[in-house]
Amino acid sequence: MTVGNKENEEFAPSILVFSTDSISDPGIDLAGSSHLAYPSTVSVISLPCSSGIKPKWILHAIEKGFDGVFIAADGTDCPFLPDCTTRTAKIADTAQSLLKEKGYDPQRVKMGAICSVCAEPFANHMRNFFNALQKIGPAKKGGGKDGI
């Protein structure tokens, strides 16, 4: 599979996942250790907490060629911030508005709470998001149905 713009039928969307060191990353690791398959075009950047993601990083990722960004949020398990879910949701909202402003489909940003044992939910999220992005098309200008 190659990242980027290809014929739509064999289009394999590339997905950037922002995960968190202590909560969602172990869940994503567990998906691998349990041999749960998901597309290999999924790459993970791990941070301490999902409330520390900057919306402009998300925009950067889409503008530079990722077809979708998934925020694997700490949810209520966050060891740092009791209101982590609200904060992360706000970041996802802001990122969606930024994308919209630039003419991208806001659905290219998705958020889901992934706990340290959420192996199967993660693999499912990835397969579903991959399928959804296949319908939207490549993010590269003119490649998708974003209207740009």
Partner 1 sequence: MTERKVGVYICHCGGNISDYVDVHKVRDVVESEDGVAIAKTTMFACSDAGQQEMIDDIKEQKLDGLVVASCSPKLHLLTFRGVAKRANLNPYQYVQVDIREQDSWAHREDHEGATEKAIRLVRAGIAKVRQSQPLKPTEVETVKKALIVGGGIAGLRAALVLADMGIYVYLIEREEKVGGWASKFSVMYPHDKSGKELIGELLSEVAKRGSKITIFTNAELLKKGGYLGNFDITVGIGGDTNEAETINLKVGAVIVATGFDTYKPKQGEFGYGLKGVVTLPEFKAMVEASDGKLEYDGQQVKNVTYIYCVGSRQKADVENANTYCSRYCCNAAIHTSTLVSKVDPTVHQFHLYRDIRTYGKYETLYEETQKMGSVFLKFDEDEPPVVDSSDGTLRVRVKDLLTDREEIEIDPDLVVLVTGMVPRENAGLTNALKIPLGRDRFYNEIHPKLRPVETVIDGVYIAGAAQGPKNSSESVASALAAASKAAGLVMKGYTELQPLVAYVDPDKCEWCGLCAEACPYEAIEKSTDEQRGKEIATVTGMLCKGCGGCVPVCPTDAIQVKDYEDHTIMDAIDALLEEV
Among 100, 117, 120, 135, indicate the residue that binds partner 1 (CB under 8 A).
117
| Displacement of CA 53 from its chain's centroid (Å) | 12
- The reply to whether 89 sits near partner 1 by the rule CB under 8 A is no
Question: Per CB under 8 A, which region of 14-22, 97-105, 106-114, 130-138 contacts partner 1?
Answer: 14-22
Torsion sign over Cα 74, 80, 81, 87: negative
Binding track, positions 32-71, relative to partner 1; x by CB under 8 A? xxxxxxxxxx-xxx-xxx-xxxxxxx--xx--xxx-----
Label residue 103 exposed, middle or buried (CB < 10 Å: 0-12, 13-18, 19+).
exposed
- The reply to whether 13 sits near partner 1 by the rule CB under 8 A is no
DSSP H or E segment with residue 128: helix 119-136
- Our CB check for partner 1 shows the closer of 87 and 110 to be 87
Closest CA to 146 of 91, 97, 92, 108: 108
Residues engaged in binding partner 1 (CB under 8 A): 1-4, 14, 16, 22-23, 25-41, 43-45, 47-49, 51-57, 60-61, 64-66, 77-82, 84, 87, 91, 94, 115-117, 123
